[in-house]
Structure 1
Amino acid sequence: ISNLPVPKCDDFDMQAQTVVKIETNLSICDDIQQTIDTSLQQAEALRQSILKQAFKGEL
C-alpha cells in the first residue's frame, strides 16, 4: 500500500471548492433521506389504514 500514489491538492482554493461541493452533495443526500423516511412513514400509515378497513369489511 505504501507504494500507491495518493493524489493531493496543493491549491487551497481548489480544496475549498471541493469541500463546498462535498458539503452540498451531503446536504442533498440528507434531504433525500428525509424525504424517503417521510414517504416510508406515510406508506406504513396507509397500509395500516387499508388493513383496518379490510378487517372491518369496509373495502
Structure 2
Amino acid sequence: MTKPDIAHRAPKIPLAVPLALRLSAEELVKTDRYASQEVRSRSAFARMIFLRGLAEYERELATNQ
C-alpha cells in the first residue's frame, strides 16, 4: 500500500524561528499518527495545525469586535 502524495513543503521563510512546543504523551502519539497518515514530518504537521488554529482565532477576534 502506498501513501497518498498530499504533503507540501512549508514555504521558505527567511526569518523563521524555531518554537518549542510541549505535548502530552497522548497528544504526541496523535500528532505522530496524523503526520504519518499525511506523509508529513511531526514539525510540518504541527505547523499546519497551528496555522489552522491561528486563522480560526483571528476569525473569532474579527467577529467579536
Report 1 or 2 for greater relative contact order, CA contacts < 8 Å, sequence distance ≥ 6.
Answer: 2
* Shorter-chain TM-score range: 0.3 to 0.5
Q: Under a length normalisation based on structure 1, what TM-score does the superposition of the two structures give?
A: 0.44
Q: Under a length normalisation based on structure 2, what TM-score does the superposition of the two structures give?
A: 0.40
- Structure with greater Cα Rg: 1
